[in-house]
Amino acid sequence: MGAIADLTPVRDQERPTWLALGEDGTISRWDVTTGDHEAVGTTTVAAEPDHEPWNDRELRTRLHASHDGRFAAVVHDYGRFGEVVDLRTDEVTLALENDGYHSETVPFSLAFGQSLGRRVVIHRTDWNRLDVSDAETGALLTDRSFPAPAEADGLPEHHLDYFHGALYVSPDGQRVLDDGWIWHPIGVPSVWDLGQWIEGNVWESEDGPSRVDLCGRADYWDHAMTWIDSVRVAIGGIGDVDRAMRPGARIFDTSRPSESGAAVELLAFEGPTGRFFSDGTRLFSSGDTGLSTWDPTEGKLLGTVPGFSPTHHHPSARQFLQLADGVVRLWTA
């Protein structure tokens, strides 16, 4: 397997389990408690030798897992290719490609979810289009075609001027958070209902009634973001423009829009930096100097772990992992 390229937690297991991706493409199931590794799959995502980094965003390989660990997705963040692998058969069930238009500006939009007993994968198929597919069969569940515009030079109904970014599914599996941006360029995190999208309105991710924007920030996206619980979202950075952004967190209630139509902002407080994680109650920030724990209701600092800056979090196991240069360090909350 060699050095570890990425890790991701498997949430619905009796023992704390992770999937690990080796630089040689081997996918292993790793029991942190015992240290046991078991190779369960391989990946050979197409190379992208002509990729040109944008704004210091280097192409990187990213590993995702379904809630039960049966399926893994390996994608190129800031690139255009990926694939979904069934770890029971080691077969590719879905080849992923996002068209490549400005894909260098965002991580590859992908997240696993569940619907009507199926494991599903949400993935970007164009710069302004997301789709949902059955992880086991690869079948498209959100088939739709844009109707012809009323005027020859007009835009079709449901047209979305939005570059989809990193995706986060709420802890209850009901909603999707999208860290995308609009031209020119303003980061606009958005949320909508996953069940309604798959089972009711195939246009829900474009302009459905459950879709709500959180905020708009000029030249600022692809930064810290996490669900606190299945309603509240924490967004990193205080301010409306990149050059004047201050370290901190903004907490939004995504369940109800404000009078302006955006999500209700509950609180903003300075301090949190780096990556954001949550255990359903607390907010964790992983900055250069260490890990900090915050009360997202009052904005109070609850504690710190100096010198440990985790890159990954397993909420149900309360484990934090720091992956750097292929080496993993572990801390349990």
Q: Which of 299, 234, 236, 297 is nearest to 263 (CA)?
A: 234
User: Within a 10 A sphere around the Cβ of 229, how many other Cβ atoms?
Assistant: 14
Q: Are 243 and 219 in contact (CB under 8 A)?
A: yes
Confidence band, pLDDT 50/70/90 cuts, at residue 1: low
pLDDT band at 154 (very low <50, low <70, confident <90, very high): confident
The mean per-residue pLDDT over the stretch 219-241 comes to 98
Name the DSSP class of 55.
T
Question: How far is the C-alpha of 135 from the C-alpha of 35, rounded, in Å?
Answer: 29
Using alpha carbons, list the distances in angstroms from residue 1 to 8, 40, 59.
16, 11, 21
Specify the residue for token string 């493409």.
Answer: 25
Place of tokens 């989809």: 164
Q: What is the mean pLDDT of the chain?
A: 95
| 260-292: pLDDT as tens digits | 889 999 999 999 999 999 999 999 999 999 999
Q: How far is the first Cα of the chain from the last one, in angstroms, to the nearest whole number?
A: 28
Cα 295 to Cα 21: distance, rounded to the nearest angstrom: 33
Query: Is the predicted pLDDT of residue 179 greater than 70, yes or no?
Result: yes
**Which residues make Cβ contacts (< 8 Å) with residue 133, sequence separation at least 6?**
84, 94, 120, 121, 123, 139, 140, 141
pLDDT at 2 over 80: no
CA–CA gap between residue 305 and residue 286 (Å, rounded): 9
